[in-house]
Amino acid sequence: MANGLAGTTLRVNLKTGAVRRLPTDEALFRRWHGGRGVTAKLIYDEVPRDADPLGPQNIFILNAGVMSGAFIPAGSKVSFGSVSPLTNGHGDSNMGGHLGPALKFAGYDLVVFEDSAPRPVYLVIDDDRVELRDASKIWGMKSLDCEKAIKDELGEDFEVATIGPAGENGVLFSCITHDFGRQAGRTGQGAVMGSKRLKAICVRGTKSLRVHDLPALKKQVTEIILRTQKHPNMEPWQKYGTAFFIRWSNDNAVLPTYNFQTTHYENTDKIDGDQLVHKILVTHKACFGCWMNCGKYTKAVVPGKPAVYLEGPEYETGALCGANLGMKDIHHVAYINWLLDNLGMDSMSGGGVVAFGMECFERGLITEADLEGHALRWGEVDDVEHFLDMVAHRRGIGDWFAGGTKRAAQKIGKGSEKFAMQVKGQEMSGYDGRWAPGMLLSYMTADIGAHHNRSWTITVDMAEGRERVEGRAKIVIYLQHIRPLFDTWCICRLFWGELDITPEEIVESLNHITGWGVGVDECLRTSEMIWNLNRCHYLERNRADGRTFDYPPARSWEDKIPSGPGKGKGLTREQIEQMLDDYYDERGWDRRGNPTRELLEDLGLGDAADNLEKIGLLGEPLPGGIPKVRGEKYKPKAF
């Protein structure tokens, strides 16, 4: 195939060990644009609505899309997907590194894992040789240690993804780790792998990836490389990666601090990008085909503990495991990052969970008696290490926190739901939305729970007025369509966001690779189709009006920001309701937050409309009909 597809899909039945090779369904990839689109469709069609996300009826997908591995800026991504145990809706999470390209070069676009293995296994793909192997010797190993052990056995040129003890034990925010520091962190994909007793995936490929027009692609991408090498943002990105953004967030009152109590951290200068570069950096580290090298490989040294190597902390981890936990030393932030990576937990949700535990401890809602004699205090790295061990192994109240902040708050009660900083069960990213209403709306409405990769609006909020909510919904919708497209194509979005590669240029590359001949508008429409399918999927599984799931915790409107440049700022409940009304109107959903038949049929999702109607959750027809265009084009300013 000369269309960016390697040509083969694998169906691996983990219960029987049978491996089926099927021709990749080109029409499916064309309609859903690969990556998370194909994943969304397969999960919607194949997983029963009452299936336990951690049971054998869930499927687990490894998907390299249509652009991964090609000669394209950061064509490095691979997307994982399944029904999320954290949100109980469509779940997907992607990672950079080298696994996605390796899968393509081995000859595969997609691997679908069905059922669960009776005993621990790992999958080895070496070009045409595909086999499940006994994982009894590596089961129980920590993520990074396991990757090292597998590479020692198979060879350095295998690309390896692993889970750690947390994934094995069913911690709902478990991640998948690759390349000694790249993670697919969100939506608990590591827990799904663990539930299937799939410890690792190892891939080596030597084949060529054929594309529609390689000479045109070579010419276009070479020009882009030479142009962006001179972009003014290139130098800071290469030097700091995302870590330089800690200070920016603090200065602009969005840095989550002490479990999102405030947005200004007095010790920012001890954990920011300068500290990372000058104190712990070992080497810059890039994903496949990326010349921005935002990855920072580091060494953390904490007295009394072994020195550890890790990738990070990048911005999200630096914010959520730094300021949000009151850490005062970059070595401590990095050490916690390493703990989470090696135990196999998402360092975003992980930071959120520890911060929530710390606030509960501070308020006396949990005590040392609950924590095996240990405390859980702001800024204390030993406390965090012990607590994370309890969570990863689900000991005592560690079991409550293993379900994330939402489930932990349900167990703890006493008003703690107010400061469990999540939406739909997934913890918020590293931005406080109280003085950034578009960001809060982004969290509230994201299809996988609170996550910034669907929509990020801080600079939009600053430009359009941080106390105004009017007009924000349209922009959030546009961003929710364009940003996930990069995950759908399995490439990194940072070149668009930070180095001014335009969507038109990326779609031109897409056409050189696939020969599809599509335009940006068609791509955005595909993304809207995926978004609405995921909304339907969520409603079908959770059986209530969509609006009921779209609220942030009450801290978001009850507490004003108490300190720093955002002191006294905050949103009202009425403003939050108004944003939701606007958002539903602009999406073509009713005010209950349910998609209408007119919209779903317009997007070619008539079957999903039928399914919603059967359970009484189809949106009421809108008096004036659905908006002709959903979303308003907006390019947030790079930071």
Partner 1 sequence: MRIKVDRTRCTGCRLCTQICAIQNYGEINPKKAALRIEAKFPEPGQYRPFVCTQCGKCAEVCPENAITRNDIGAYVVDKSLCTNCEACVPVCPVGVVFQHPDLDHVIICTFCMKCTELCSTGAIVKWDKAPAAKSEAAPEAEA
Quick check: 325 and 379 in contact, CB under 8 A? yes
What span, in angstroms and rounded, lies between the C-alpha atoms of 114 and 20?
11
What span, in angstroms and rounded, lies between the C-alpha atoms of 96 and 492?
8
Pick from 41, 98, 512, 535 the residue near partner 1 by CB under 8 A.
98
Minimum Å gap between C-beta 24 and partner 1 is 17
Question: Which region, judged by CB under 8 A, interacts with partner 1, from 250-258, 280-288, 372-380, 437-445?
Answer: 280-288
Identity of the residue, 208 or 367, whose beta carbon is nearer to partner 1 in the bound complex: 208
Pick from 297, 551, 634, 639 the residue near partner 1 by CB under 8 A.
297
Quick check: 3 and 515 in contact, CB under 8 A? yes
Using CB under 8 A as the binding rule, whether residue 105 contacts partner 1 is answered as yes
Minimum Å gap between C-beta 37 and partner 1 is 23
Residue 367 burial (CB < 10 Å; 0-12/13-18/19+)? exposed
Pick from 248, 309, 634, 639 the residue near partner 1 by CB under 8 A.
309
Identity of the residue, 284 or 305, whose beta carbon is nearer to partner 1 in the bound complex: 284
Which positions ≥6 away from 415 have C-beta within 8 Å? Answer: none
Pick from 64, 276, 287, 446 the residue near partner 1 by CB under 8 A.
287
Minimum Å gap between C-beta 410 and partner 1 is 38
Using CB under 8 A as the binding rule, whether residue 293 contacts partner 1 is answered as yes
Identity of the residue, 107 or 546, whose beta carbon is nearer to partner 1 in the bound complex: 107
Question: Which region, judged by CB under 8 A, interacts with partner 1, from 24-32, 195-203, 290-298, 544-552?
Answer: 290-298
Using CB under 8 A as the binding rule, whether residue 284 contacts partner 1 is answered as yes
Identity of the residue, 295 or 553, whose beta carbon is nearer to partner 1 in the bound complex: 295
Which token pair is 581? 């009304």
What span, in angstroms and rounded, lies between the C-alpha atoms of 253 and 323?
12
Minimum Å gap between C-beta 292 and partner 1 is 8
Identity of the residue, 286 or 365, whose beta carbon is nearer to partner 1 in the bound complex: 286
Pick from 1, 19, 216, 286 the residue near partner 1 by CB under 8 A.
286
What span, in angstroms and rounded, lies between the C-alpha atoms of 608 and 531?
12
The alpha helices in 515-616, defined as continuous H runs, are 520-542, 555-558, 573-587, 597-602, 606-614
Which token pair is 144? 């990074």
Q: Degrees (nearest 5) of the Cα angle 287, 171, 108?
A: 40
Identity of the residue, 70 or 327, whose beta carbon is nearer to partner 1 in the bound complex: 70
Q: What is the DSSP letter of 262?
A: B
Question: Which region, judged by CB under 8 A, interacts with partner 1, from 68-76, 360-368, 452-460, 539-547?
Answer: 68-76
Minimum Å gap between C-beta 74 and partner 1 is 9
Minimum Å gap between C-beta 449 and partner 1 is 31
H-run or E-run covering 509:
helix 503-514
Using CB under 8 A as the binding rule, whether residue 239 contacts partner 1 is answered as no
Minimum Å gap between C-beta 581 and partner 1 is 46
Minimum Å gap between C-beta 157 and partner 1 is 9
Identity of the residue, 209 or 371, whose beta carbon is nearer to partner 1 in the bound complex: 209
State the distance between the two ends of the chain, measured CA to CA, in whole angstroms: 40
Minimum Å gap between C-beta 71 and partner 1 is 6
Dihedral angle at the C-alpha atoms of 555, 561, 562, 565, nearest 10 degrees?
160
Using CB under 8 A as the binding rule, whether residue 288 contacts partner 1 is answered as yes
Using CB under 8 A as the binding rule, whether residue 617 contacts partner 1 is answered as no
What span, in angstroms and rounded, lies between the C-alpha atoms of 542 and 536?
10
Which positions ≥6 away from 241 have C-beta within 8 Å? Answer: 273, 284, 293, 294, 295, 296, 314, 315
Question: Which region, judged by CB under 8 A, interacts with partner 1, from 69-77, 134-142, 396-404, 558-566?
Answer: 69-77
Pick from 289, 313, 351, 552 the residue near partner 1 by CB under 8 A.
289
What span, in angstroms and rounded, lies between the C-alpha atoms of 18 and 511?
36
Reference 24, options 16, 529, 32; nearest CA is 32
Quick check: 211 and 4 in contact, CB under 8 A? yes
Using CB under 8 A as the binding rule, whether residue 148 contacts partner 1 is answered as yes
Minimum Å gap between C-beta 500 and partner 1 is 16
567-606 residues near partner 1, rule: CB under 8 A = none
**Token pair 């919209």: residue:** 599
Pick from 282, 463, 615, 629 the residue near partner 1 by CB under 8 A.
282
173-232 residues near partner 1, rule: CB under 8 A = 179-180, 205-211, 214, 218, 222, 225-226, 229
What span, in angstroms and rounded, lies between the C-alpha atoms of 28 and 129?
25
Minimum Å gap between C-beta 235 and partner 1 is 11
Count of residues interacting with partner 1 (CB under 8 A): 41
Torsional sign, CA 14, 18, 24, 30:
negative
Using CB under 8 A as the binding rule, whether residue 156 contacts partner 1 is answered as yes
Quick check: 510 and 486 in contact, CB under 8 A? no
Using CB under 8 A as the binding rule, whether residue 290 contacts partner 1 is answered as yes
Minimum Å gap between C-beta 128 and partner 1 is 11
Question: Which region, judged by CB under 8 A, interacts with partner 1, from 292-300, 329-337, 516-524, 542-550?
Answer: 292-300
β pairing state of 108-114 and 90-95: unpaired
Minimum Å gap between C-beta 290 and partner 1 is 5
What span, in angstroms and rounded, lies between the C-alpha atoms of 486 and 445?
19
Using CB under 8 A as the binding rule, whether residue 291 contacts partner 1 is answered as yes
Reference 113, options 90, 82, 84; nearest CA is 82
Backbone angles phi, psi at 632, to 5 degrees: -130, 125
Pick from 44, 71, 244, 387 the residue near partner 1 by CB under 8 A.
71
Question: Which region, judged by CB under 8 A, interacts with partner 1, from 17-25, 288-296, 501-509, 547-555?
Answer: 288-296
Pick from 133, 247, 299, 328 the residue near partner 1 by CB under 8 A.
299
Residue 426 burial (CB < 10 Å; 0-12/13-18/19+)? buried
Minimum Å gap between C-beta 131 and partner 1 is 19
What span, in angstroms and rounded, lies between the C-alpha atoms of 295 and 315?
11
Minimum Å gap between C-beta 126 and partner 1 is 12
DSSP SS3 for 573: helix
Minimum Å gap between C-beta 286 and partner 1 is 4
Which token pair is 612? 């919603």
Residue count of the chain, please give it.
639
H-run or E-run covering 121:
strand 121-126
Identity of the residue, 127 or 607, whose beta carbon is nearer to partner 1 in the bound complex: 127
Q: What is the DSSP letter of 591?
A: T
What span, in angstroms and rounded, lies between the C-alpha atoms of 424 and 548?
10
Binding footprint of partner 1 on the chain (CB under 8 A): 69-71, 98, 101, 105, 144, 148, 156, 179-180, 205-211, 214, 218, 222, 225-226, 229, 234, 238, 282-291, 293, 295, 297, 299, 309
